[in-house]
């Protein structure tokens, strides 16, 4: 049975995915740390900066 932290973490990941603000790579980094409560402010920023940079690189290469 999932722990409450795991349940909420899964829901959060699903909503972030729906919102389109995080990549699958970002999700892989985010989920285990979210469940373990190990995310620091710098980690959040790094994940979203990386995701956005990846997304912009992707758009640039498509262009």
Partner 1 sequence: MPLRISKLTMSGFRGATAPTTIEFDTTKPVVLIFGENGTGKSTIADAFDFICNRSFGSLENYSLGEPAKKHVASLGRSSADVSVTLESGAQKWTARMGKDGPTVNPLAGQPDVRILRRRTILSLIETQPRQRFEALKTFIVVPNIEKCEAALRDAVNATNTSVNDLVRATVQATDELMKLWKAEGAPGASALAWATAEANKDLSQLWANLTLIGSLLQNYQDVETTLTALDLALAEQHTALQALEATQARQQKVEALAVQQTARLLSLLRDAEAYIAARNTLTKCPVCEQDVDARALARRLGERIGEMRDLATMAAATEAAQRQMDSKQIVADKIRREFCQKAGLLAASLKVCLLPEIAALKLDWLRFPALLDPAQPAHVSEQQARAFWAAISRSHQTLEERRIADQKSVHQHNAIAGQIGTLREKQGLAVAQQKLLADLKAALDIVMQQRKDYIEEILTSISTEVQALYSRLHPDERIGRVKFFLKPNAIGSLEFDAQFQDVIRLPPQAYYSESHLDTLGICVFLALTKYFKTDNTVVVLDDVLTSVDGPHLDRFMALLHDQAKQFGQVIVTTHYRPWRDRYRWAKGSVASTQVIELGPWSLESGLQTGEFLTAVDELKMALTTSRFDRQVTASKAGIVLESLLDFITLKYRCAIPRNARNEYTLGDLVGGIDAKLGKELRCRKPTIAGGSKTDVLLKPVFDAATESQWIRNSVGCHFNTVDSEVCDSEVKDFGRAVINLSAHLICDSCKTLPTRRPAGLFWQCKCGQLEVYPLVYPGADLHTVDDEDF
Catalog residues that contact partner 1 under the rule CB under 8 A.
Answer: 1, 4-5, 7-9, 11-12, 15-16, 19, 21-22, 33-45, 48-49, 51-52
Classify the C-alpha dihedral 12-15-21-23 as positive or negative.
Answer: positive
State whether residue 59 is helix, strand or coil.
helix
- Give the list of residues 6+ apart from residue 16 with CB closer than 8 angstroms, or none: 22, 27, 30
49 vs 57 by CB, closer to partner 1: 49
CB of 14 to partner 1, least distance (A): 9
What is the largest distance, in Å, between two alpha-carbon atoms of the chain? Answer: 46
Residue closer to partner 1 (CB basis): 42 or 63: 42
Q: Which is nearer to partner 1, 8 or 28 (CB)?
A: 8
């Amino acid at each position: 049975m999932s722990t409450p932290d795991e349940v909420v973490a899964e829901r959060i990941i699903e909503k972030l995915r729906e919102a389109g603000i995080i990549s699958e790579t970002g999700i892989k980094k985010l989920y285990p740390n979210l469940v373990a409560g190990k995310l620091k402010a710098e980690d959040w920023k790094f994940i979203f900066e990386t995701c956005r940079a990846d997304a912009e690189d992707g758009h640039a290469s498509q262009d």
